[in-house]
Every structure is written in C-alpha cells, then in structure tokens.
Amino acid sequence: MTAGATYLIEAKDVHFAWMLNEAATPNDLSLPPGGVDERSTLAMLRRVTANLRSQGVLGTWLIATDAEIVGLCGFKELPKDGVVEIGFGIAASRRRRGHATRAVTALLTEASVNIAIDRLTAQTTICNVGSQRALQRNGFVQVGTRNSAEDGDLIIWARTVR
C-alpha cells in the first residue's frame, strides 16, 4: 500500500468485537481519536454483516488509511432485482480528506465483480454535502427524494455499476 492510500479491508466479526471493546486489536490496526462510530451503529452494522454473510454475500468493509480504520462502508442489504443500497461513514476526526470518495470508488469495484448487482443506490440527508459530493464524484445522480421519520428529508442517488 502507498502511504496515505485509502483501501478496504473485509469487515469480520473480530473487527466489530475490537471496535466495541470486546476483543484485542487485530493485525496492528488502530482507530482514530473518538473511534469510527457510535456503539449502537457498530452493533447494528455487525448484525447486518452477519446477515449478509449468512446469505453468502460479502458486503461490509473497513475503510483504512495506512493501518488506521477511518470509517466503514458496505451494502445495506442483499441485492434485489440487481439493485443494492450502499452506505458509508467516516470517523468525525477523519472527514474532509477524500476517504468517502475513495471508499465509494472501491464499493463500485466490489459491486462490479458481483454478477447479482447492476445498480447501486444511496440516500443522504439534505444537509450532508460531503456524502453528496462523494457520490457525485463517483457518477451517482439524484433520482428522487423521500422523507424519513428518523432522518428527515433524504436525497436518493443511483448509478449503474457497469
């Protein structure tokens, strides 16, 4: 790896156990100040990852720079009719450095080798300009909006994989 390069590491249960302070650090990895995300989000992503794996789908990755985990990304569900929604998040202390853009690029690469996936979608809150830019830089276009009781107004994005 080139120093400072952003790359993906397949997320395994041992990684979630480590980030949740249930196990020792795997493979000399480190976390940024404040960690990657809230415990509740990490626990939810652990369950999503286990569900995807039980269905034979690799779909959750750690976003790394050097040996530091700066975020998480992946598929939110199993592909349905060739479509899968992606999600990504960068640790608050590591935002605005291009990690999200490079992670979405890597997700596109991962999706391109999965014959069950033809199209990716994503949703961002209206005020999340950083995530919107990461998607736009990767060829996603706005295809709609919706309102979520939990997150408020959302923009829906999509792009074909190939």
Tens-digit pLDDT profile for residues 77-128: 999 999 999 999 999 999 999 999 999 999 999 999 988 999 999 999 999 9
**CA gap 132, 141 in Å, rounded:** 9
pLDDT of the residue at 27 = 79
Q: Is residue 67's pLDDT more than 70? A: yes
pLDDT of the residue at 2 = 54
pLDDT of the residue at 84 = 95
pTM as predicted: 0.91
Residue 138 forms part of a structural domain = no
Total number of domains in the chain:
1
Residue 34 forms part of a structural domain = yes
Q: Is residue 54's pLDDT more than 60? A: yes
Residue 38 forms part of a structural domain = yes
Residue 130 forms part of a structural domain = no
Residue 136 forms part of a structural domain = no
Range of the domain at 84: 6-116
Counting Cβ atoms within 10 Å, is residue 156 exposed (0-12), middle (13-18) or buried (19+)?
A: middle
Residue 156 forms part of a structural domain = no
Alpha helices in 10-98 (DSSP H): 13-19, 39-54
Give the pLDDT mean for 117-146: 97
Supply the CATH number for residue 12's domain: 3.40.630.30
Residue 127 forms part of a structural domain = no
